[in-house]
Amino acid sequence: MSADLQSSRLKKISEAKLCEYPGTDKLIEKVTFEADSLEVKPGTLKGEASITKHEADSLKGKYGTLKHEAYSLKGKYGTLKGEASITKHEADSLKGKSGTLKHEVSITKHEAGPLEVKPDALRSEADSLEVKSDTLRSEALTERDLLLSSLSEETKMALLKLGKRTRPEIMKDLIREICSQKDFTLDELCIILGRKNSKTLYDNYIKKLLNEKKLIKTNPDKPTSPNQKYKTVLSQKEKS
């Protein structure tokens, strides 16, 4: 077979395979180029123009290689298509996860709902504490009123005039006047006199009155007892 016929045949085969296997045009161009290079130039010797059986077999082998590469490319295309499908599946999976996260956020928001009630609960507890505070204050006033009920109106008026910086002698006389009407403990005297520090009241007034024998303990056998009460010692002049 002449080189021209061989070249023409290879071109037809290449064009046919180009249609059959898209994407292999670069490989086909290689074959076409090699086929064109076999065309006989004018003046070429007959021996040079003829193609040897060995070269033909070589071209046939190259064609087979090209066919194999075309199948390989087709297989790669299928692989890419499969990977694209997998990627789409992963995207759908992520979309599903997004929906799950949205659902979880909705649940979290629902769970947070009861927390919004807590400020009202705390406000209610605060109101309750205020009520308890008022109750305790009322009970303290009631206790003082109960203690004052044992005293004369004259003594109550003297207590109303009592200031925070009352002179020591006036305070001592008032304590004696109170304890002359009824025996009281140190804590009770603090409530009546409106003093918070019982130790200060004892050191500044009660102790001095005891030393002056103007006040005595009703339970001398237990001098440090918290239930110890104090009583006024009247002079002969005061008795008369």
Give dist(CA 110, CA 113) in Å, integer: 5
Domain contains 203: yes
Clarify whether residues 232 and 158 are in a common domain. Answer: yes
Domain count, the chain: 2
What is the mean pLDDT of the segment spanning 150-171?
A: 93
Residue that terminates a domain, selected from 47, 66, 90:
90
For residues 223 and 210, the answer to whether their CB atoms sit within 8 Å is no
Q: What percent of the chain is helix, strand and coil (3-state, nearest 5)?
A: 75, 5, 20
Domain termination residue (choose one: 64, 90, 116): 90
In whole angstroms, give the CA distance from residue 174 to residue 177.
Answer: 5
- Provide the pLDDT for residue 205: 97
Q: State which of 90, 115, 140 marks the end of a domain.
A: 90
In a domain, 130, yes or no: no
Assign residue 182 the CATH number of its domain. 1.10.10.10
Q: Which residues are within 8 A (CB) of 202 and not within 5 positions of it... i.e. 6 or more apart? A: 186
Q: Is residue 114 part of a domain?
A: no
User: Tokens representing 164?
Assistant: 């925070």
Within-domain flag for 112? no
pLDDT of residue 238: 84
Q: What is the mean pLDDT of residues 177-202?
A: 97
Q: Which of 33-37, 145-149, 234-238 has the lowest mean pLDDT?
A: 33-37
Question: Does residue 131 belong to any structural domain of this protein?
Answer: no
Reported as a single tens digit per residue, the pLDDT across 94-108 is 555 555 545 554 545
16 in a structural domain: yes
User: Do the domain assignments include residue 232?
Assistant: yes
Q: What angle do CA 128, 132, 136 make, to 5 degrees?
A: 170
Higher-confidence residue of 77 and 189: namely 189
Which string of DSSP letters, residue by residue, matches 167-189? -HHHHHHHHHHHHHHS-EEHHHH
- Parent domain of 171: 152-239
